[in-house]
């Protein structure tokens, strides 16, 4: 199994640009999670899906952030417009069960907004 796949692995963009992060969960996993990690705030859950349906998006910082999961094998996290304070590592994780008890993390996308 290839594990959770994320792309791009690194992204450098300018303030105001749109950023799209992509994630392919492990095949057969029903839950997908998007996290953001910074030194100051640690690892924060942004949103999670179960069976492609968003369950809890209370961690999404503001309207500039949106996430979709059009099918069981693909999800996107979009930031529009991006700001320097969005610079962080964004992780996607997937889990077989609805409770997300055992989450497998992807390698992350390192985002730098100039």
* Full strand arrangement of the beta sheet holding 19-24: 5-7, 19-24, 74-79, 65-71
Which pairing describes strands 10-13 and 19-24: parallel, antiparallel, or unpaired? unpaired
- Closer to other proteins by Cβ: residue 71 or 99: 99
Least gap, CB of 3 to other proteins (angstroms)? 9
The structure tokens listed for 59 are 């961690």
Least gap, CB of 77 to other proteins (angstroms)? 16
- Closer to other proteins by Cβ: residue 2 or 41: 41
Positions that interact with other proteins (CB under 8 A): 33, 35, 41-45, 48, 56, 58-59, 91, 99-108
Residue 78 has phi, psi (to 5 degrees) of -120, 140
Least gap, CB of 57 to other proteins (angstroms)? 11
CA angle 10, 101, 63 (to 5 degrees): 50
- Closer to other proteins by Cβ: residue 57 or 81: 57
């Amino acid at each position: 199994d290839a594990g959770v796949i994320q792309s791009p692995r690194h992204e450098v963009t300018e303030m105001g640009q749109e950023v799209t992060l992509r994630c392919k969960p492990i095949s057969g996993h029903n839950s997908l999670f998007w996290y953001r990690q910074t030194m100051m705030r640690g690892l924060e859950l942004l949103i999670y899906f179960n069976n492609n349906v968003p369950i809890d998006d209370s961690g999404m910082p503001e309207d500039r952030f949106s996430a979709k999961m059009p099918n069981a094998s693909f999800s996107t996290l979009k930031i529009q417009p991006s700001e320097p304070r969005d610079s962080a590592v964004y992780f996607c994780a997937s889990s077989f069960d609805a409770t997300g008890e055992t989450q497998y993390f992807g390698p992350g996308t390192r985002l730098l907004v100039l």
